[in-house]
Structure 1
Amino acid sequence: MKVPDVHYHLEISVTNPVVEHEGSASFTIYHINIETNNPRLTKSKYTVVRRYSDFDILHQCLSFDHPTLLIPPLPNKQRLEYIKGGRFTDEFVSKRCNSLEIFINRVIKHPVLLKSEVLMIFLEDSDYWSTYKSNLHLNESNSIVHTNPSVEGVTDFLMNSFKKPHVESKYSKNFKEIEHQRLNLQDNLNKVDRIYSKVVNKQDSISRELNSFGDEFNKLTILLNNDFNGKYREENQLDDETKVLVNEFRTFSENLKKSGSYYNDLNQFIEFKYLNNLKDLEHYLIALGNLIKLKDYKVLDYEMLNNYLEKATAERENLIRGGSLTSTTEGTISFLSRKLESLTGLRGSSLLPSSASIEKLNSRISLLEREKVQAKQVYEQFEKDLVDEWSQFQKVKDDEISQSLNELSEEYTRLYSKSYEDWNAFKLNKEGIKLQNKLDDDARSKYFSANAVIKNDEEIKELLHEMKI
């Protein structure tokens, strides 16, 4: 009886990155918050701590265990063109934390990767992850050392002899459509990235101007607080009309500066979250493109082996009929022999025009036939999985774009809602403000000539500095 496929609830967030120091070395730890009903993980709600290197090892293990699948990419150590500053700045750590959360959620959304044993070990609230890592063959850069050759090990030496695969695939139309959509999506993401980078600059300019405008209105409250001789008056010394106007100028100034801060908050979200998510989606597309190239290489492997097999078979028939090896074919088979011997450990003499050479060819032909069958299985598996992986990628991509746009719209709504609340609460009291013109011609000349304005501005700045405004 077939056991039903049980889908367990699994919700993961990566938060609270903390930079720690160990001697002269520094590193960042990330808190992975897990909520699940999967009995394999024993707890329903808990937090584990992991470093970037742990995520990197998980990624390598998944790639090694599932070579034909699209493994979500990690935020690369070297690709920091959109990060300002060093690896331990708030901006870098915050963006990497967001990218790691995207990575792990892409993994758990994948129907095959979700069931991976290494993923379960990575998420376990135990010391087993440390034990598991210690049992892996890692080099100095924490990369997995592949001690056993893969099934397609022989053909890895033969790759890239053809510029383009010629084998007709039943998925050819699918692959053309995948490549077309992939390139279009990558182009559109780049355009959105460029446009929104300009939007951020514009909104940053608006934020600065609103703050500057608010500062100027704040200076006006100082003018209103002073009498005509420039002496500062406390609020209780002001007449009612002036007091009302001072308060309204002050509120107006505060609202301007609040609006500026709302734009600044919006820009923080766009830079740290929205644009960062776009970059992660671009990296996902690049990983898909690399998988397509790898699939093509596996087809080339098959074609190369088939080509060698045909030549070796033809030469064997020629030798049986009493002929000799041509120099071109002899060189080809000698090259192939050396490659095969280096992988299989077989050693033999060079091909001689005798029965021994026919026996040697038979041995090579048998090995080539086995490798050809295996190479065909490999590339067919790549083709089948690539079609499925594209479908999975589409689902993840649609979810991520939808979520990003919803979050972006919420941030804009928050900006306009807060601004509306602030300005709606501000009601200019037109009633009761009946300031009379107390300046005669001499007073206007005294207080508002060019030199007087400059002098007054300097006095206002000095007073603002004393008041720490």
Structure 2
Amino acid sequence: MSVGAPRGLASSGQKPITEMLHPLSAAEEPLPPVPDVSDRGDKESGLTNGTPPVEASSPACTSLLINRLQLEENLEADARDLYISTETKDLFVTVDDPKKHVSTMETYITYRVSTKTTRVEFDLPEYCVRRRYQDFDWLRIKLEDSQPTHLIPPLPEKFVMKGVVDRFSEEFVETRMKALDKFLKRVADHPVLSFNPHLNSFLSVKDLNKRQGLALLTKVGESVKQVAGGYKLRARPPEFCAMGEYLDTFSQKLGTIDRIAQRILKEQSEYLTELRDYGSVYTSWAGSEDELRRPLEAVAGSVSTCCGAGDDLSENMSQDFLPVLREYVLYIESMKNVLRKRDQSQAEYEGRLEAAVLRRQEDKTPMPVEVEKCQDKVECFNADLKADWERWQSNKRQDFRQLLTGMADKNIHYYEKCQAAWESLVTLLQEKQSEDKGIETN
């Protein structure tokens, strides 16, 4: 066939389209391990993407659990080495230094985007530009239009972020900056998206001309909608059905965790408010009891220490834990969007193929070139989506390992600080008791 493979397939180590062509009715190339979400029950809670679920262990089996986690980390590190061996890290991007701009027309925040690279596509080895949120949004739109077969990382929502009202507050800006930095790093690390010319412009051009081409829709997308609009897809291949079911299950679990985490955060806030009131009572009491002043002040100090540790724990949940959950909720929507585009492409191919078969039976005409091009397009979609699915699963495992490990460390640190505070109070009370006994003896 005359249609060549797009640039991304060669970059990601996949076969050219002409080597992968086969009828859709034939057995497709097996997808890398995808969870059997139809087998639910106890296994459903694992969401291990094909890996054996970790059995529940008692507190006495801590060493066994640690060894098992270390084994999983080694296996995943080996998997990531496969990406490292085929991808050269030669593009580094960072988003930092937010600045507020106030004008008569609007108020907005810009972020510094720093780039270091050795790629020949760039004229200079280093760039430093300032971008606002709508510039990142422009980049994502252009990536979706020009790379419809690939999963585009999500951006943080423009205005709505749970627990934050003022979008110019320090907390909001810091959280958004981290999300934008993660978005840009994911794009820069992708073997196909990182070579997109729109990314090059975003990183290097001082003033983006976002109007140019922004109103133009992807012609491929338009043709797919027109041809596939009246055709019902026969059947999504099993591996992509498994993807869709996995995303539905994963979305439900993230939603449940998010709701519970929000409730915990609210209850923690109420608890800390009451705990501060509780500590202030001991402070005021110490002012009227000379003999009990030291123990009462120590109690107030222990309560204050617990409040500070609780604030740190709540801040970690609101600024580090919840944003990652929300990012993956948006990631799921992006993945579902790519799956829908893949289905549209398959529906276009099936519609054209069915029409061509009918015409061929009537007048013995050869198979139109458009049908072969549509088959190429479907195979391209399948190959790119499978590769991006693997990459997404690998990133997800790494992100959630870091997220849960960080949450465990924060909770351990919280309880250690609280324990140390109350243990110091016990020591003081014991010293006070010894002093009182000495006075009575004398």
Answer yes or no: same fold by TM over 0.5.
Answer: yes
Structure 1 residue 212: deviation in Å?
A: 1.7
Structure 1 counterpart of 2:165 = 85
The answer as to 2:176 corresponding to 1:101 is no
CA distance in 1, matches of 2:265, 2:221: 49
The answer as to 2:144 corresponding to 1:145 is no
CA distance in 2, matches of 1:9, 1:404: 27
CA distance in 2, matches of 1:284, 1:387: 15
Structure 1 counterpart of 2:399 = 400
Q: Which amino acid aligns with 1:380?
A: E
Structure 2 counterpart of 1:212 = 277
Cα 1:11–1:209 change in 2 (3 A) is farther
The answer as to 2:250 corresponding to 1:185 is yes
Structure 1 residue 218: deviation in Å?
A: 0.7
The answer as to 2:435 corresponding to 1:432 is yes
CA distance in 1, matches of 2:437, 2:258: 53
Q: Which moved more, 1:398-407 or 1:291-300?
A: 398-407
Cα 1:174–1:117 change in 2 (3 A) is same
1:165–1:299: 8 Å Cα contact kept in structure 2? no
Q: Which moved more, 1:305-314 or 1:90-99?
A: 305-314
1:203–1:267: 8 Å Cα contact kept in structure 2? yes
CA distance in 2, matches of 1:47, 1:411: 35
SS in 1 for 2:234: coil
Structure 1 residue 100: deviation in Å?
A: 1.2
Q: 2:327 aligns with which of 280, 289, 302?
A: 280
Q: 2:113 aligns with which of 32, 42, 50?
A: 32
**RMSD between aligned alpha carbons?**
3.3
Cα 1:151–1:190 change in 2 (3 A) is closer
Q: How many residues align?
A: 353
Structure 1 residue 15: deviation in Å?
A: 3.2
Cα 1:214–1:155 change in 2 (3 A) is closer
Matches within 5 A, 1:307-326: 307-310=354-357
Q: Deviations over 1:101-134 (max 9, x none)?
A: 221222233222233343344334xxx242xx32
Matches within 5 A, 1:318-397: 369-397=368-396
Structure 1 counterpart of 2:228 = 159
2:148–2:338: 8 Å Cα contact kept in structure 1? no
Q: Which amino acid aligns with 1:270?
A: M
Q: Deviations over 1:135-165 (max 9, x none)?
A: 7515xxxxx1227x63464343122323333
State the identity %: 22
Q: Which sections of structure 2, spanning at least 5 residues, go unmatched?
A: 1-9, 12-84
Runs of 4+ in structure 1 off by over 4 angstroms are 2-6, 9-13, 33-44, 310-317, 434-437
Structure 1 counterpart of 2:310 = 263
Structure 1 residue 69: deviation in Å?
A: 0.4
Q: Which amino acid aligns with 1:431?
A: S
- Structure of larger gyration radius: 1
SS in 2 for 1:293: helix
Q: Which amino acid aligns with 2:269?
A: D
Structure 1 residue 12: deviation in Å?
A: 4.2
Structure 1 counterpart of 2:416 = 417
Q: Which amino acid aligns with 2:199?
A: L
Cα 1:76–1:163 change in 2 (3 A) is farther
Q: Deviations over 1:214-267 (max 9, x none)?
A: 111112112215xxxxxxxxxxxxxxxx2xx31332132022022112212211
SS in 2 for 1:179: helix
Structure 1 residue 47: deviation in Å?
A: 5.2
Q: Which amino acid aligns with 2:229?
A: N
TM-score, normalisation: structure 1: 0.66
Cα 1:396–1:41 change in 2 (3 A) is farther
CA distance in 2, matches of 1:51, 1:107: 17
CA distance in 2, matches of 1:15, 1:270: 22
Cα 1:153–1:316 change in 2 (3 A) is farther
Q: Deviations over 1:355-376 (max 9, x none)?
A: xxxxxxxxxx89x923322222
CA distance in 1, matches of 2:313, 2:267: 12
CA distance in 1, matches of 2:295, 2:234: 75
Cα 1:30–1:135 change in 2 (3 A) is closer
SS in 1 for 2:415: helix
TM-score, normalisation: structure 2: 0.70
SS in 1 for 2:108: strand
Q: Deviations over 1:151-195 (max 9, x none)?
A: 4643431223233334xx8xx232122222222211221121122
Cα 1:259–1:135 change in 2 (3 A) is closer
1:12–1:34: 8 Å Cα contact kept in structure 2? yes
1:207–1:261: 8 Å Cα contact kept in structure 2? no
Cα 1:52–1:303 change in 2 (3 A) is same
Structure 2 counterpart of 1:197 = 262
Structure 2 counterpart of 1:351 = none
1:68–1:385: 8 Å Cα contact kept in structure 2? yes
Cα 1:418–1:11 change in 2 (3 A) is farther
Structure 2 counterpart of 1:331 = none
Structure 1 residue 73: deviation in Å?
A: 1.4
CA distance in 1, matches of 2:295, 2:416: 21
Structure 1 residue 38: deviation in Å?
A: 6.0
Q: Deviations over 1:353-400 (max 9, x none)?
A: xxxxxxxxxxxx89x923322222212211221111111110111111
Q: Which amino acid aligns with 1:433?
A: D
Structure 2 counterpart of 1:76 = 157
